[in-house]
């Protein structure tokens, strides 16, 4: 009997130990929004360093274990065995990410999405052959032929990577003509680098919704413009459809045409009031210059509790 009790106590203790261990295991960054590679990226109370911050003084971060976040701008098109983050300013070294022990690869179509990487940063001087090799792997064969000097690069050896999942159009609410599977959308960040390059052409764009008309859902804004950049205002072709008024904070893919527009004071005040920013509207003395996107089709990621809401109604001066 005593032996049985002892066994029961030991079994209970073991179960408690295993439960505690399971509970202590760090959680990965939201797997519904991120794909994880290698050791992946776990949740942390400390936010990852923005790539822009690292690039201000890379030497300050070399040789240390750090966590960095930034946009993927290139991926090896042979195996996905390396990627680049960001677009370096003139005179800055490229930021090349490789994967520890060649143990994992990333999707070859990941460019344009955001990543969080964990590992160690170092400076590296490439040979001419190495620089040509990476350019060829990226599909830049003509550029590779012109190389006469190896690049100085920032090399990041990543043990874990999390990459923002692409928008699953099948899991989106569709509005207007909707957005069908096809060419990958241009990211809002890419458009904002040189909006004039994209104006007046059919365009598919992805980005975060940051504002919606609170009267009828007859317009929305994407992203948060940096100082001096124009707002990105999305309206809907022929006033034929609206979007949910609670869509801010979700991601979207839109199809249509981009143009520049100078608003009058009255128009700027009107949009701010529709967004519920009444105090801000009262202070307007000059109309905004905006990037206006006339969308024929919109796809918006579903909310956590999917409740489809699209409106159609009487026309108003929106």
Name the average pLDDT for the chain. 85
Q: d(Cα 146, Cα 79) in Å, to the nearest integer?
A: 24
Which sign does the torsion angle of CA 87, 93, 99, 105 carry?
A: positive
- For tokens 């032929």, name the residue: 145
Compute, in degrees rounded to 10, the torsion defined by CA atoms 176, 179, 185, 188: 30
Q: 255-281, pLDDT tens digit by residue?
A: 999 999 888 999 889 888 887 889 988
**Domains, the chain, ordered by start:** 34-164 (2.40.50), 169-301 (2.40.50)
- 138-147 residue pLDDT tens: 788 898 899 8
Calpha distance 162→27 (Å, rounded)? 13
Q: Are 259 and 199 in contact (CB under 8 A)?
A: yes
Q: Are strands 114-125 and 65-75 parallel, antiparallel or unpaired?
A: antiparallel
More confident residue, 171 or 310: 171
pLDDT value for 49:
93
Token pair listed for 257: 């045409």
Which residue blocks in the chain are alpha helix, DSSP H? 2-24, 51-56, 128-137, 141-145, 188-193, 265-274, 278-282
Q: Taking the model in full, what pTM does it have?
A: 0.56
Q: Look at 16 and 69; give whichever has higher pLDDT.
A: 69
- 220 near 232, Cβ under 8 Å? no
State pLDDT tens for residues 79-118: 999 999 988 776 778 899 999 999 999 999 888 788 999 9
Is residue 131 a contact partner of residue 74, using CB atoms and an 8 Å limit?
A: no
Angle at 186 between CA 210 and CA 121, to 5 degrees: 90
Task: Say if residues 51 and 57 touch (Cβ distance below 8 Å).
Answer: no
**pLDDT at 300 > cutoff 90:** yes
Burial of 46 (0-12, 13-18, 19+ CB in 10 A): exposed
In angstroms, the Cα distances linking 236 to 47, 98, 195 are 36, 42, 19
Q: Any idea what DSSP says for residue 183?
A: S
Q: What is the pLDDT of residues 118-129, one digit of tens each?
A: 999 999 888 999
């Amino acid at each position: 009997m005593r032996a049985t009790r002892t066994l029961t106590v030991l079994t209970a203790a073991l179960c408690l130990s295993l439960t505690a261990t399971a509970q202590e295991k760090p959680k990965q960054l939201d797997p519904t929004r991120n794909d994880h590679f290698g050791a992946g990226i776990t949740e942390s109370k400390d936010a990852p360093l923005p790539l822009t911050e690292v690039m201000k003084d890379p030497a300050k971060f070399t040789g240390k274990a750090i966590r960095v976040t930034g946009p993927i701008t290139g991926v090896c098109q042979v195996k996905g065995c390396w990627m680049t983050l960001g677009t370096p300013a003139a005179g800055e070294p490229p930021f090349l990410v490789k994967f520890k022990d060649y143990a994992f690869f990333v999707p070859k179509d990941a460019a344009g999405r955001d990543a969080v990487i964990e590992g160690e940063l170092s400076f590296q001087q490439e040979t001419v052959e190495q620089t040509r090799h990476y350019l060829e792997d990226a599909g830049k064969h003509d550029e590779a032929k012109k190389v006469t000097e190896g690049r100085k690069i920032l090399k990041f050896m990543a043990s874990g990577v999390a990459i923002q999942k692409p928008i699953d159009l099948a899991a989106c609410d569709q509005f207007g003509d909707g957005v069908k599977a096809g060419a990958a959308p241009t990211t809002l960040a890419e458009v904002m680098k040189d909006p004039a390059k994209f104006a007046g052409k059919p365009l598919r764009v992805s980005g975060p919704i940051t504002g919606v008309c609170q009267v009828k859902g007859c317009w929305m804004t994407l992203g948060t413009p940096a100082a001096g950049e124009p707002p990105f205002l999305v309206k809907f072709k022929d006033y034929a459809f609206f979007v949910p008024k609670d869509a801010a904070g979700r991601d979207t893919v839109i199809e249509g045409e981009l143009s520049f527009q100078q608003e009058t004071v009255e128009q700027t005040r009107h949009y701010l009031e529709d967004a519920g920013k009444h105090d801000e509207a009262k202070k307007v003395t000059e109309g905004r210059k905006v990037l206006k996107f006339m969308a024929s089709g919109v796809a918006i990621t579903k909310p956590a509790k999917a409740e489809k809401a699209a409106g159609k109604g009487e026309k108003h001066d929106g």
